[in-house]
Amino acid sequence: MLKSLFNWKVLLNLVIAIGVFAGLVWLTFRWLEHHTNHGQEIPVPNIVNKSIHDAVKILDDTGLEYEVDSANYNPKYRPFQVLQVYPAPGSRVKDGRTVHLTVNPRTWAPIAVPDVINKYSGLAFQRLDQVGLKIGDTIYEPSIQKDALLRILYKGNAVNPGARLPRFSIIDVVVGSGPMRNISIPNVVGLSVKEARAVIAKSMFEVGLVEHEDGSKDESDIIYYQDPASGDVRDQGMQIDLWASKKTPAELRAKVEQLNSIYRMKVDTSLPPVRYEEVQHDEPSYSAPVVPAPRRETPKPEVPKAETPKTQTATSKPAASGTEKPKTSTAAPATTKPAASTTTQQPAQKPKAKKVVVE
């Protein structure tokens, strides 16, 4: 086996295989060097703050490819001004390398108009301001939707939700001011259903029930009856019911009379008018009851009765001998007691001095 391994034919094939492998490796690296421009590097030029037209011209002269991407509009920089470059200026790259440029756009990016139709005007204004739209004039229009945003106008033309407008565009809004009062109802008898719809909408009313005499929904049928009648006054947005048919008015006379008996109220003018007199009723006057003040009784003081003292006179006896001094006897004065009072007690009175009569 060893002898067959060292045979000259085997060794020759081995040397040939090694040579072929080495040649393939060398050719591969040479091809890569040629394809990738190995050893050939180009510095990225400084094109920041230049206009996009000048930057593209410089990159074409250098042999570099480029891709342009627009950023959010910044009013501090000029339109189409190069803001960033990748790889950074001064970096060495291969010939044909793609350089990414970030450019300031010409103006703000367009934004979509939000769906605020038939919404409350206060919330609609706030939403429009959030997306970057400025409100110019506010136009008020009669509508049953009071304080609702009816339309959005841009340069005089109506704008639908979802339309794209430049950021910070000035728009006008139409807001409902409430329904109009006492509008005369138009006469649509004799018109087709299609024509009647247009007249009713133009008069700011709405089409209510549409009853076709034959049960079809043909818009070419002629209106032969309407309710309310023409000439009546109603508020804006009220509905008008219609009856339509293909027959002539003469053929529908009985139907019209039947509808009149239902929808037209007849007033009997043969009776004398009723006179209403205003009767004035005297309204009872209400006065608050007078509460008498509490009565304070003042007790009357009782006057004590003073007893009149009795004076006793001594009888003089005839003197037996000589002259005797007359004896005077004074009776003791009677003490007077004051009467006791039930309420107040009077102070005791001093007795008056008695006169002594000497006979």
DSSP 154-197: ETTEE--TT-EE-TT-EEEEEEE-B--SSEEPP--TTSBHHHHH
DSSP state of 327: P
Which tokens go with 347?
A: 């102070």
pLDDT of residue 327: 46
Q: CB atoms < 10 A from the CB of 342, how many?
A: 7
pLDDT of residue 113: 94
Cα separation of 247 and 214, whole Å?
10
Instruction: Give tens-digit pLDDT for 108-130.
Output: 888 999 999 999 999 999 999 99
pTM: 0.46
pLDDT of residue 329: 42
Who wins on pLDDT, 349 or 198?
Answer: 198
Instruction: Give tens-digit pLDDT for 209-244.
Output: 999 988 888 899 999 999 999 988 988 889 999 999
Who wins on pLDDT, 116 or 34?
Answer: 116
Instruction: Give tens-digit pLDDT for 236-287.
Output: 889 999 999 998 878 888 899 999 888 886 655 555 655 656 656 555 555 5
Assign 12 a pLDDT band (cuts: 50, 70, 90).
Answer: confident
pLDDT of residue 302: 55
DSSP state of 88: P
Asked if pLDDT for residue 338 goes beyond 60, the answer is no
